[in-house]
Amino acid sequence: MTPDLFAHAAPYVGYVYPNETVIPWSLLIVVYPYITGLVAGAFIVSSLYHVFGMQQFRPIARFALLTALCFLLFAPLSLLIHLGRPERALHAVLTPHWTSAMAAFGYIALFYLVVLALEIWFAFRADIVAMARSARGALRPFYRALTLGSDDVSPNALAWDHSWARALAIIGIPSAAGLHGYVGFIFGSLKSREWWSSDLMPIIFLLSAIVSGVALLAILYVAVWKARRVELERDCLGGLAKVMWAFLTVTLVVEALEYVEMFYRAREGIGTIEHLIEGPLRSGLLIQALCSVVAFAVLSALVARKTPGARDVGWLVFSASLLMIAVLAMRWNVVIGGQELSKTMKGLLTYRPELLGREGILTSLFLLFGPLFALWLLARLLPPWLPPRAASV
C-alpha cells in the first residue's frame, strides 16, 4: 500500500465503510474525461467541413484538427500520473482482459490517434511540401522527412489528398464518439454506485463533450484570429453558435430525463441521493445549472439573430466560456459525486482537492493548459491559417 493512498482522506457523515474514507478517483480523473471531451468536440467541427461540406467551418477546419491532436496527446497523462507507476499502463493493452473497458480504451485511443495523425498529414501535405522547398536551416530536413517522400502537388494528387482526408474524417467520427462515449460507459455500467448507474450516462458524456469542444474552438478562434489581426468570418461564428446551441439543447433535455428517471424509479437509497444533492454537490450542481441556462439563453438570442454582429462576438465568447465551466462542473459532479455517496447508501463524504502534490490543483491546471502551449508550437510548425494549396482540402 503506497504512502500517498490516504492523501485524499475525506470527512464523512452517516454509515460509511472504513475503506470508503478515501476517495481514490481524484481531481485528475475529473480532468481526464474533460480533456477527451474537448478532443471529440474539436474533431466534430473539423468533420462538419471535411465530411458534410459546411463551408462556414472552412477557416477553422485544419485548426480544429491540430487542437484535437494536442489535447489527445495530453489526455492519457492524467491517467498515467494518477496511476503512480505509469510503466504499468501498457499491461492493460498488452495482456488485456477482453471484458475490460480500460483495455478497450487503449485500443480505441491508439486507433483514433493514428486516424487523426493521418488526416492531418493529408490535410497539410501540400503545405508541408511547399515548406520543405522554402525552409532553411534545421527545419528543411524536418519538413522533408515529414513529406514521407511524397512531393507531388499536381491537381490529381491534391484531389487524392482530399479524398483520403474525407475518408479518414468519416472513420474518425465514430472513433471520436467511441473515445468519449467509453468514458460515460465506465461510469454508467457501475451498478454499485446509484449516482453513476444510468443507461443515459454515455450519451450525456458524449453530447456534453461536443458542447465543450465546440465552445473551446469558438474561444480559440476569436482569441487567435484577433491576436493575428485577421478579420473574423461571421458565417463561421454563426455556425459555431448554432452547433453549440443545438447540442446544448439536446444535452439539457437528456440530463433532465436522467434526473426524472432517477427520482421516478425511487430505488432504495434515493433519500441519501437527495441529501447528496442538497449537501456536498449543491455548489457543483448550481454552477453547472446556472452556467448552462445562461449560456442557453445567450446562444438562443444569437441564433435568432442569424448573422452575428460585431457586438455579438463578446457574447459568443461569454457563452462558450460558461459552457466550458458547466461541462467541467458536470465532470466533477459525476466523478466526485459518485464517490461521495457511500456504498451503504446511508452516508456521505466530502472531497476537497489539494493544491500541491501529484494529484493536486496545480497538476490539473498543467494538464488543462499544457495542450494550449503544444498547440502554439504545432501551429508554428504547421500554420493552419495558411490557405490550403488545394481549395478543396
Long-range contacts of 253-256 (CB under 8 A, 24+ apart): 254/200, 254/203, 254/204, 254/207, 255/204
Residue labelled with grid coordinates 461510469? 187
Q: What are phi and psi of 14, to 5 degrees?
A: 85, -160
Residue labelled with grid coordinates 454499485? 192
**Cell digits of residue 173:** 467520427
In sequence order, the 6+-apart residues with CB closer than 8 A to the CB of 85 are none
| Residue range 21-49: mean pLDDT, rounded | 88
- List domains and CATH numbers for the chain: 20-381 (1.20.1630.10)
Range with the poorest average pLDDT among 10-14, 210-214, 269-273, 389-393: 389-393
> Closest by alpha carbon to 204, among 184, 186, 187, 190?
184
In sequence order, the 6+-apart residues with CB closer than 8 A to the CB of 92 are 100, 102, 103, 106
Global pTM value: 0.87
Most confident of the following: 81-95, 100-114, 234-248: 234-248
Side chain identity, residue 151: D
| Residue range 146-163: mean pLDDT, rounded | 86
3-class secondary-structure state, position 380: helix
Which DSSP string corresponds to 59-98? Answer: HHHHHHHHHHHHHHHHHHHHHHHHHS-GGGGGHHHHS--T
Say how far apart CA 55 and CA 74 lie, in whole Å.
30
